[in-house]
Amino acid sequence: MLAFAPDRVIAEEELEERLREELEKLSLRGERVLVIVPDDTRTLPMSTLFRTIATALGPKVRELTFMIALGTHPPLSTEQLRAHLGPDWERQNATVVQHTWQDASTLAQVGRISREKMRAISGGLLAQDVPVQINGEVLAHDLCLLVGPVFPHEVVGFSGGHKYLFPGVSGPDMVHASHWLGALITNPKVNGHQDTPVRDLIEQAAEFVRTPRLGLSLVMQGDAVRGVFLGEVREAWRNAAEHSAQVNITWSERSYREVLSMAPSMYRDLWTAGKCMYKLEPVIEDGGRLVIYAPHIREISETHGTWLQEVGYHVRDYFVEQWSTFAHVPWAVLAHATHVKGIGTFKEGVERPRVEVVLATGIPQELCRRVNLGFMQTSVVDPTAYGGREDEGVLVVPNAGETLWRRSDGRVPDIDQL
């Protein structure tokens, strides 16, 4: 196993050399290899990884296929693929495909998590059978290499590892069950924890997949590579998660009454830019405000926008206490809605979010109001005016979404304490 995490940035040339050396040691001659990689909403040197893997494995395997683990994200265009995989991606000795989660003809059922097992995994929060479906290409190959960065994550605790199977290339049942379970537990209690019920659910589902697998887990800090772990999927992921916790969690001695969370351009809609809230929620004061600043974003979600306009953004218990009204809504939609809104209460018909979430984006004011989020004109936001005011309880976070902020005293926002 390659476990490389020096106390410095790993240069692209060094990454390429070490990875190529390890891949060339694999006995894969004549086999069909599937490489599952993230889309362009995750930071990693994907073009370098694509080129290195294709060069090292392409000449000796019978077939090399890269699959973009979209989950429910929209497919990448040819231009986006070129930017993501490199300008010469079409000339590499590999085929590139994209997961289609709603196309039943591409899915294969490999198992079922029983009601009793689901109740045990979730601590009683969910009790229903969950069919385990996966893209059939995973089963049609001799080896599956799971490639991706490991960051603190709102649904599963830390991303990466078998998450690239479930929900990365899974059917809708696992998408909805995993996301809603994470939402029921709440973001502050899940984000940045290795061992979570959702991770248990994913690992249970992975047991049904018989295709041999390897994991290539990277630790990023901004655009810099800080760790590379190649080996058995769980071991590579756990080592990366431990290292990611050191470089991707910022410990704050205080909470803030106002946070300007600036979305990077890789988030093209609120569905992905919601991470700007997830990663900052733990350090916002009760009654505070978070502004998601993203002038380039003009829609809520290409995939789920219609549903979100119907139900709006609300705290968890708004949905739970009115379940007969919302049970028909896709659970991943409800999970996203409550994660963006943050924790809060719904008692006697009154909803009280702990934090006010405001959008300073290209999404029109009328639509923001309709979905129950605040609105601010981007023209009145001066990010420089937020800088250097931490002592006043004001924080600005550029390129938000991948670094988790936590209180250094261990305080975690909790619904039961509101």
Q: What is the pLDDT of residue 152?
A: 98
Q: Where are the domains of the chain?
A: 2-247, 251-417
Could you read off the pLDDT of 360-374 as tens digits, one per residue? 999 999 999 999 999
Q: What is the pLDDT of residue 59?
A: 92
What CATH number should be reported for the domain whose range is 2-247? 3.40.50.11440
Q: Which stretches of the chain score pLDDT less than 70?
A: none
Q: What is the pLDDT of residue 333?
A: 98
Q: What is the pLDDT of residue 418?
A: 84
Q: What is the pTM of this model?
A: 0.97
Q: What is the pLDDT of residue 93?
A: 83
Could you read off the pLDDT of 119-167 as tens digits, one per residue? 999 999 999 999 999 999 999 999 999 999 999 999 999 999 999 999 9
CATH superfamily of 251-417: LarA, C-terminal domain (3.90.226.30)
Q: Give the number of other Cβ atoms within 10 Å of residue 129's Cβ.
A: 13
